């Protein structure tokens, strides 16, 4: 069926996987382990796995069933302190890490990538068990992307140049790009492995040391990766990985005086709290927060592609993407046709066991998230949007929500303003280019946006007008490691991936040496 074919091409094309491993057809039949054993449940500090100092643990749930998978160590303020001490020690002047050849840092990242490739099937199964995303996504999208991100950053360490400056006077003056120091990185639950690698990459490439706090919902793959870090040969203390909650563990990492920089990915609400705390110590802060990204479909688009990509833009990863295309603006001329085709596509979306090969959508991450989504669906009905598909919880085990579609949504509806983070699509109608740009920009968010149109001029002009960090034209969710990703306005501060990400992990030092006579 055409749209199924288009769908597969689009998943591969849209996420721009750069490893040959992504070509599933080239591989022997994969045996999927639906019950991957959990091997690491403790905090990873100084290349060792240690219990939390209080001995306490917390439960990790399988969102497809609601059952407890295992328990992992619950890091408290004391453990954060231990981890930061380890990172600080690894960063001291004269340490193995500080003295290492830049190219050798890169080789460690290549080694880590190779180990991840070796353990791809296991990591993908563990990610699916803990997060609920379909195995075919973990295996074909998440893990390969991690590998390509690490390999991308591996090439940077010996290429980050400063400048020699044409200053006035008898001076020799130059800049050095130095690592900012000990960094604290807090990652969310929607792409546990991917975000882990988006954080490890720049920290290692620039020569920083880090303490990474995994999200309390999804610590399992991060703790396994910790073992790979040790196996790859990173010196102790360079990457420390801990599991713990936000209010105690995360907060103490943010407040810790020996952490020089914070990188946080998560909700806008928590991002603001972190920004306020970090500002007290003038801590360098980068934030990747929420979004309510507008996807603009013009009448002169390729309709097949637009329908399929718009579906993907919203529903991918159970709708749990910061950059989900969660406001689909469709030009009046093709509105009815677009809505009709979207209804058909949404009805076809297969929800079920994430280990099942035909499943497109797994459970939401938690009961709490599921409740929030249902609540917003109710608000959509209340505000008068037209509920055309789904709208309820799916089944009574696990946290599944039916693929849901609203049409005739208005900009002031809650479902058009607030981040739902679930499989709920909003379709809105527009007439003119000027109007839709204004409506698209009418948000405190500004993470991403997209344009579907065949017209060269319109694509460029509209892209230029959208206040969003990533603008996709005739595609969606392209996450090439080479391209920067980050938000305008309250969607965040700073950029991840790409060369641009290196700046936030570096400090520029200017050295000026007096010489007896300078000549140009």
User: With CB under 8 A as the contact rule, which of the stretches 144-152, 192-200, 377-385, 388-396 interacts with another protein?
Assistant: 144-152
3-state helix vs strand vs coil in the chain, percent to 5 = 45, 20, 35
Bridge partner list, 61: 68
Closest of 194, 48, 119 to residue 497, by C-alpha: 194
User: With CB under 8 A as the contact rule, which of the stretches 125-133, 263-271, 388-396, 454-462 interacts with another protein?
Assistant: 454-462
Q: Which helix (H) or strand (E) holds 457?
A: helix 456-465
φ and ψ of 178, to 5 deg: -105, 155
Of the pair 39, 159, the CB lying nearest another protein is at 159
Cα separation, 466 vs 463, in Å, equals 5
Of the pair 63, 481, the CB lying nearest another protein is at 481
Q: Is 161 in the site for another protein (CB under 8 A)?
A: yes
The single residue among 90, 154, 322, 374 that binds another protein, judged by CB under 8 A, is 154
Of the pair 358, 464, the CB lying nearest another protein is at 464
x/- mask, another protein, residues 476-505, rule CB under 8 A, reads: -----xx----------------x------
288 is catalytic: yes
User: With CB under 8 A as the contact rule, which of the stretches 77-85, 100-108, 393-401, 469-477 interacts with another protein?
Assistant: 100-108
Q: Smallest gap, in angstroms, from Cβ of residue 358 to another protein?
A: 29
Q: Smallest gap, in angstroms, from Cβ of residue 361 to another protein?
A: 29
* 313 contact partners, CB below 8 Å, separation of at least 6: 293, 295, 324, 325, 328, 450, 476, 477
Q: Is 461 in the site for another protein (CB under 8 A)?
A: yes
x/- mask, another protein, residues 167-186, rule CB under 8 A, reads: -----x--------------
Of the pair 13, 350, the CB lying nearest another protein is at 13
The single residue among 13, 34, 92, 159 that binds another protein, judged by CB under 8 A, is 159
C-alpha separations of 290 from 309, 323, 325, 348, 465 in Å: 21, 7, 12, 28, 20
Q: Is 164 in the site for another protein (CB under 8 A)?
A: no
Burial 420-439 (b: 16+ CB within 10 A, else e): bbbbbbbbbbbeebeebbeb
Cα separation, 228 vs 207, in Å, equals 19
C-alpha separations of 164 from 50, 136, 147, 177 in Å: 46, 49, 35, 12
* 466 contact partners, CB below 8 Å, separation of at least 6: 294, 437, 440, 441, 449, 451
User: With CB under 8 A as the contact rule, which of the stretches 6-14, 103-111, 124-132, 193-201 interacts with another protein?
Assistant: 103-111
Task: Check if the beta carbon of residue 325 is closer than 8 Å to that of residue 310.
Answer: yes
Cα separation, 482 vs 475, in Å, equals 17
**Residues numbered 304-343 forming contacts with another protein, rule: CB under 8 A:** none
Of the pair 156, 445, the CB lying nearest another protein is at 156
Q: Smallest gap, in angstroms, from Cβ of residue 144 to another protein?
A: 11
User: With CB under 8 A as the contact rule, which of the stretches 102-110, 116-124, 286-294, 417-425 interacts with another protein?
Assistant: 102-110
The single residue among 40, 156, 315, 406 that binds another protein, judged by CB under 8 A, is 156
Size of residue set near another protein by CB under 8 A: 33
Cα separation, 485 vs 471, in Å, equals 10
- Catalytic annotation, pick one of 127, 216, 288, 331: 288
DSSP string, 326-344: -EEEEEGGGHHHHHHHHHH
- Point out which residues bind another protein (CB under 8 A): 18-20, 102-103, 106-107, 110, 148, 151-152, 154-156, 158-159, 161, 172, 456-457, 460-461, 464, 481-482, 499, 513-519
Active-site positions? 288
């Amino acid at each position: 069926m055409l749209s199924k074919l288009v769908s597969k091409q689009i998943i591969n094309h849209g996420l721009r996987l750069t490893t040959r491993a992504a070509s599933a057809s080239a591989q022997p039949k994969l045996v999927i382990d639906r019950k991957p054993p959990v091997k690491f449940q403790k905090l990873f500090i100084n290349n060792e796995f240690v219990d939390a100092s209080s001995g306490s643990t917390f439960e990790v749930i399988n969102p497809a069933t609601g059952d407890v998978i295992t328990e992992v160590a619950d890091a408290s303020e004391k453990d954060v302190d231990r981890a930061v001490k380890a990172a600080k020690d690894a960063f001291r002047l004269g340490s193995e890490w500080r003295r290492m050849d830049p190219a050798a840092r890169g080789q460690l990242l290549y080694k880590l990538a190779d180990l991840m490739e070796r353990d791809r099937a296991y990591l993908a199964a563990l990610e699916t068990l803990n997060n609920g995303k379909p195995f075919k996504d973990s295996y074909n999208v998440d893990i390969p992307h991690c590998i390509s991100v690490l390999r991308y950053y591996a090439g940077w360490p010996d290429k980050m140049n400063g400048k020699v400056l044409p200053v006035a006077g008898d001076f020799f003056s130059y800049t050095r790009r130095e690592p900012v120091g000990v960094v604290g990185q807090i990652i969310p639950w929607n792409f546990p492995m991917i975000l882990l690698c988006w954080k490890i990459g720049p920290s290692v490439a620039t020569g920083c040391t880090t303490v990474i706090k995994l999200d309390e919902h999804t610590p399992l793959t991060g703790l396994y990766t910790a073992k790979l870090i040790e196996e790859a040969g990173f010196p102790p203390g360079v990457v420390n990985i801990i599991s713990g909650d936000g209010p105690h563990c995360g907060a103490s990492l943010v407040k810790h005086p020996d952490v020089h920089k914070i990188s946080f990915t998560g909700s806008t609400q928590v991002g603001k709290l972190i920004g306020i705390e970090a500002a007290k110590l003038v801590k360098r802060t980068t934030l990747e927060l929420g979004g309510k990204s507008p996807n603009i479909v013009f009448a002169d688009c390729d309709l097949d592609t637009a329908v399929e990509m718009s579906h993907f833009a919203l529903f991918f990863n159970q709708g749990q993407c910061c950059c989900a295309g969660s406001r689909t603006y469709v030009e009046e001329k093709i509105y009815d046709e677009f809505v009709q085709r979207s209804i058909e596509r949404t009805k076809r979306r297969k929800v079920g066991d994430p280990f099942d090969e035909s499943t497109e959508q797994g459970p939401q991450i938690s009961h709490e998230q599921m409740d929030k989504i249902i609540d917003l669906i109710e608000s959509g009905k209340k505000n008068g949007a037209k509920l055309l598909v789904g709208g309820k919880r799916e089944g009574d085990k696990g946290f599944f929500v039916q693929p849901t579609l609203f049409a005739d949504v208005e900009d002031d509806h809650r479902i058009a303003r607030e981040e739902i983070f679930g499989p709920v699509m909003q379709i809105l109608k527009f007439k003119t280019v000027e109007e839709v740009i204004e409506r698209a920009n009418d948000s405190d968010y500004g993470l991403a946006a997209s344009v579907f149109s065949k017209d060269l001029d319109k694509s460029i002009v509209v892209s230029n007008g959208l206040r969003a960090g990533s603008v996709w034209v005739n595609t969606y969710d392209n996450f090439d490691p080479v391209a920067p990703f980050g938000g305008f306005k309250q969607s965040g501060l700073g950029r991840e991936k790409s060369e641009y990400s290196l700046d936030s992990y570096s400090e520029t030092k200017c050295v000026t040496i007096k010489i007896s006579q300078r000549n140009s």
